Amino acid sequence: MSMDRRKFLKLLGVSGAVMALGGALPPIARFVAPNIPKPAAEKPPRAKLVWEDGTPVKASELEVNKAYVFHYPMRDTYSILINVGDENGNPVEIPELEIPLLMQPLGQEPQPPTPEALDAVKAAGRGGVYRIPGGVGPHKSIIAYNAVCQHFACQYPQLTYFPPGQVPPQSFPETRKGSILYCYCHGSVYDPYRGAAVLRGPAQRPLPAIELEWDPATDELYAVNIVGNVITGKFCNTCGKLVGTRVTVKPA
């Protein structure tokens, strides 16, 4: 049976739309699917942190309330390294704590890790929890987080750190004092004192944490693991080209 020209063109148009939608579905699915930890394809590498000249990063060299960046665990994803402190420049000890995989934004300014502040994070949970490592270094104040926003995968420098006293242009209540991780793309705000818990949406998942090791004998630092949510836009936290045994750190 012959098909007239109009029906043939209509069939071609429908077929093209279906093919285009099919090609778009996999990347869309990576953002809308539940972003829960998935088995790693490989074990994250144990990587020594080094400066651009190749010398080891020493914990005592990291300025308080200053951000540094490095690639980990994959070569195409940034992480942020911070020696966290208070508004007076004193290091703040960051304890090991439980963070919800999915949470209600806390809607408040960043809080130091008091028992009450940590309980507020747990109370905001809407899913499972995971345990992130505490700070390392002589004051247990050095921490690192994956620098890819859990809302829609904007990464450093769109996701960046504002130390105490510095705030982004938008004067949200959660940003007035600084000491936040802030995403310029859509305004998500995270609390570095409390495991990158979400202070302001649209993000609803804390940033994955980078587990660090500190060698007190040499004062050297290593990135050894990534824990928590899957990096937004990835199928797992090691699905890609992994870094080697050394990663370069530079000021943010």
CA distance from start to end of the chain:
68
Going from N- to C-terminal start, the domains of the chain cover: 1-33, 47-251
pLDDT at 1 over 80: no
pLDDT digits (tens, 9 = 90+) for 181-218: 999 999 999 999 999 999 999 999 999 999 999 999 99
34-77 pLDDT, tens digit per residue, is 566 777 778 999 999 999 999 999 999 999 999 999 999 999 99
pLDDT tens for residues 136-156?
999 999 999 999 999 999 999
Determine if the peptide bond prior to 157 is cis (ω within 30°).
yes
Instruction: Evaluate whether the domain defined by 47-251 bears CATH number 3.90.870.10.
Output: no
pTM as predicted: 0.86
Return the pLDDT at 19. Answer: 45
Give the strands of the sheet with 209-215, arranged side by side.
Answer: 246-248, 47-50, 220-227, 209-215, 142-146, 78-83, 67-71, 250-251
In this prediction, residue 38 carries a pLDDT of: 72
d(Cα 72, Cα 182) in Å, to the nearest integer? Answer: 19
